[in-house]
């Protein structure tokens, strides 16, 4: 992901200590970098698929990713076995759409 907007940024920006106080400023700054990134979807999908629990990935913080995964798990649990609607891991990534 050489074209990622975070390349060249301080990695610590994306891994603030805590989720309150000054860490909120770092989280907001990291999300601003993600907002201008052409591979945000790929980044988020990788983080979700590889179980990243810390930091800002794909424009989402730790709590946001946890909530997204929980919602996805609940949706899959309630969905009938024959239902083929896509889940987050089935959604096309940025590179899929560009092809």
The answer to whether 98 is a known ligand-binding residue is: no
- Is 84 annotated to bind a ligand? Reply is no
Could you give the CA distance from residue 73 to residue 88 in angstroms, rounded to a whole number? 10
Q: Is 43 annotated as a binding residue?
A: yes
17 is an annotated ligand-binding site residue: no
Q: What share of the chain is helix, strand, coil (3-state, %, to 5)?
A: 55, 0, 45
Which residue ranges make up the annotated binding site? 6, 34, 37, 43
Which residue ranges make up the annotated binding site for [4Fe-4S] cluster? 6, 34, 37, 43
């Amino acid at each position: 992901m050489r074209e990622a907007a975070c390349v060249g940024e301080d990695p610590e920006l994306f891994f603030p200590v805590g989720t309150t106080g000054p860490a909120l400023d770092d989280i907001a700054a990291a999300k601003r970098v993600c907002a201008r990134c052409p591979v945000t979807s790929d980044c988020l999908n990788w983080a979700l698929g590889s179980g990243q629990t810390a930091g800002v990935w794909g424009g989402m913080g730790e709590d946001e990713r946890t909530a997204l995964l929980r919602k996805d798990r609940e949706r899959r649990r309630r969905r009938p076995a024959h239902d083929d609607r896509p889940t987050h891991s089935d959604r096309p990534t940025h590179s899929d759409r560009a092809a």
